[in-house]
A and B are shown apart, each in its own frame.
Chain A
């Protein structure tokens, strides 16, 4: 057999002295790295993706997955990955795919921003003793309120409340379709969303009937493939999202191959079993901002005016685009930064298109304020939110809430190996193979995801308390409480943040 000239990335190794021949690694590996050789486990290390499923299930710590020490000669310009990709492309003529968000070493602005805390002149607040409010409402807000006072002295309003999505904390789960992830993974998201008082998003794969009990915590998505879209679907959740783009692959459509379209996926997407599910790059009825406006209002008409979100990838001109989207009638603008995750994207696109979410949120929040329309829509920030600190920082830059995808999958076992596009996820997340998806028990993993949301909520409260704030809206857009370290003047200017020491 032809041996690839691209050396394997990882070396899967088994200590044969420790190994008790239980074969669990063989069962567990979705990529068929291991097979039984009669008296010992055989290893095809070229298939290994370092998802570490085998390591976790080996009872005796016999397995080690090493980064392959065999590298091309070190070269600061021609990196290992450049050379390896060229060799792979020379062998296949194809576009190397990848999963999850970009792992390239671009500067991470989150790691150059620090939050403030109170000392002496203003007291910090103890979240264990005082109320701390994280409740967040998403949707259009009026710019002013008419109030009347009754004879009983109580107030009432004659201003109508635009439709809102109520979140108990400023989190939501980012759109991940049934097809790109398993139904069990979607159930984990739905159950956790319900328990935490937040929302999940169907992605563009339609809505499986098993999720109907969670409809008060679901946003349904309409994307270029229009899978599963009909009036019932549009009305099934609390809001509708129009997906224009995705941070990991701005300007690129999607392609779910026929082998990943078993009956259940086909039903939810309303397409025949085994056909390729193609999402065109643009939405073919949206070639301009007026077209978007028409679709937004068509959806509002069809749903008796549920809030409509528009999701875009953060590209260079994001502020102007977002402003256009708000003026087109969107109630929420979902900004997906270039670090945003994906089930499958061309690596070259994922790693080289778009801008980071931190810049984008700052620019969009500024622009909407300059135009006096910040109240017209909520800003949802997504694309690489790794911790509650990232959440606090992006809210301080101007976001109303964040959407988390990768972090949610990590609670289900994902190790961010980045091989989601293969459909072999050993953790049962980004796969439709029944023997793999059964591993993901929704009840068990929902509990973990709920834990994560609760943990981040507690941390956010601690951060607010240290800042001397007791309501999340007092942090929102409050860039005065952020300082930059090691950022140049122009970046600070874009972020609207002072350097540390000022």
Chain B
């Protein structure tokens, strides 16, 4: 177990929007909302996640990969073609931005795992997760930054407007969007380090500094997760993956684990609930995210906003018809929704869970 790592810390602003009826929302909307919070970032990182953007490839995992150079691309592509059927491979469309001097090559692949490579009854999702872990920790210069179906993350070093311009965000349409602007305090600018952080169709944007990072990391390592980014966001993403996908907890219960209620409140719950919450706390105490955070996590069926157990970071939510907005600041919501039906500040540790209507 490696302990001699440099952790990556940052402050930031985040915003997200979802249409419960799956109406398509243009990329320009999230860009406007995010750009309003420019002062929450310092131009060293921004990004977006969008769901519903690849309907014609909805059955394929969309791998977004950044490459430092041609040789890393060659090694990585060889690996992928060995393990996957590749339906389509193409450069992610970008446009030159004056202020972005250096950028990695960004390529996307629509893939399906090859049956014969999936030994030991491993499921497709687990197979893809393994690929992400392998490539990101073993192939120097290659980094998978998005791996879900019919969704994608776009991120890099720059201000929200620069990154939006670079990735031509306004050309995409999705039914869920999240966006993030970053204020790193100790990182050299690395494109992979920006948010959102994704795994399969999970995408996370996060504001805060997890004070329990060390134990969260060691806990995840017990389950085979390789933490290569050393950011809090990575920890949050893997914990959700473990709790929800691998341990089968529902989203509200997973939120209870990440931001556990205090014992003083648990002691007054009715017996059955108390027993369940106590057992969760005893079992998943090392997964408690302690310290200031506000996170938004998107997945193919919804959007969730969550604060730490004493609300040390801002998070505001609003609704308008079938739309729900969650952001660091109310202003970022009002920028794209002049007259919301309802605006509220979610309480500490109480998740805002929005599901798509079927």
Contacts and interface: CB of A to CB of B under 8 A. Distances in A.
A469 B279 contact: no
A145 interface: yes
Interface of A: 118, 121-123, 125, 130-131, 133, 135, 137, 141-147, 149, 154-157, 159, 161, 164, 366, 369-370, 372, 374-375, 467-471, 473-481, 492-493, 496-498, 502
Interface residues of B, number: 53
Contact of B283 (A133, A155, A370, A375): A375
Given A147-B250, A476-B285, A374 B222 contact: yes
Nearest to B312: A123
B1 A164 contact: no
A481 B214 contact: yes
Contacts of A125: 310
B283 A468 contact: no
A155 B250 CA distance: 10
B273 A154 contact: yes
A157 B275 contact: yes
Given A131-B263, A144-B247, A155-B253, 13 more contacts: A121-B185, A121-B209, A125-B310, A133-B263, A155-B273, A161-B279, A161-B282, A164-B282, A467-B211, A471-B260, A471-B288, A474-B211, A477-B215
Contacts of B282: 137, 141-142, 161, 164
B343 interface: no
B312 to A, nearest CB: 6
A147 B291 contact: no
Contacts of B228: none
Interface string B253-280: 1001000101110000010110111111
Nearest to A467: B211
Nearest to A150: B272
B273 A471 contact: no
Contacts of B356: none
A66 to B, nearest CB: 48
A469 B291 contact: yes
A478 B281 CA distance: 17
Given A133-B263, A480-B214, A473 B285 contact: yes
A34 to B, nearest CB: 53
12 contacts: A121-B9, A145-B276, A147-B249, A156-B272, A157-B275, A157-B279, A369-B221, A469-B212, A470-B310, A474-B288, A475-B212, A480-B214
A133 B263 CA distance: 7
Contacts of B280: 145, 147, 157
A144 B285 contact: no
A244 to B, nearest CB: 26
A480 B217 contact: yes
Given A131-B262, A370-B1, A122 B283 contact: no
A131 B290 contact: no
A478 B215 contact: yes
Interface of B: 1, 3-4, 6-7, 9, 11, 185, 208-209, 211-215, 217-219, 221-222, 247-250, 252-253, 256, 260, 262-264, 270, 272-273, 275-286, 288, 290-292, 309-310, 312
A130 B275 contact: no
Given A144-B283, A374-B222, A479 B253 contact: no
Interface of A is mostly: loop
A149 B272 CA distance: 11
Nearest to B257: A145
A498 B277 CA distance: 35
A155 B252 CA distance: 10
B214 A479 contact: yes
A346 B333 CA distance: 73
B1 A496 contact: yes
A131 B3 contact: no
B182 to A, nearest CB: 13
A468 B214 contact: no
Nearest to B284: A145
B278 A161 contact: yes
A372 B223 CA distance: 8
B211 A118 contact: yes
A147 B6 contact: no
A131 B283 CA distance: 21
Contacts of A497: 3
A480 B208 CA distance: 17
A123 B262 contact: no
A154 B266 CA distance: 13
A146 B219 CA distance: 19
Would you list the 6 A-B pairs with minimal beta carbon distance, nearest first? Answer: A480-B214, A473-B285, A474-B212, A474-B290, A122-B209, A478-B214
Contact of A154 (B1, B264, B272): B272
A124 to B, nearest CB: 9
Given A480-B214, A498-B4, A133 B279 contact: no
Contacts of A144: 247-248, 283
A156 B211 contact: no
Contact of A141 (B11, B249, B283, B288): B283
A348 to B, nearest CB: 36
Contacts of A137: 282
B1 A159 contact: no
A141 B283 CA distance: 6
A502 B256 CA distance: 33
Interface centre among A121, A475, A502 (most CB of B within 10 A): A121
A155 to B, nearest CB: 5
A374 B221 CA distance: 12
Contacts of B262: 131, 133
A375 B279 CA distance: 12
Nearest to A370: B1
B45 to A, nearest CB: 15
A476 B286 contact: yes
Contact of B286 (A122, A477, A481): A477
Given A122-B209, A480-B217, A135 B275 contact: no
B278 to A, nearest CB: 7
Nearest to A130: B310
Contacts of B214: 477-481
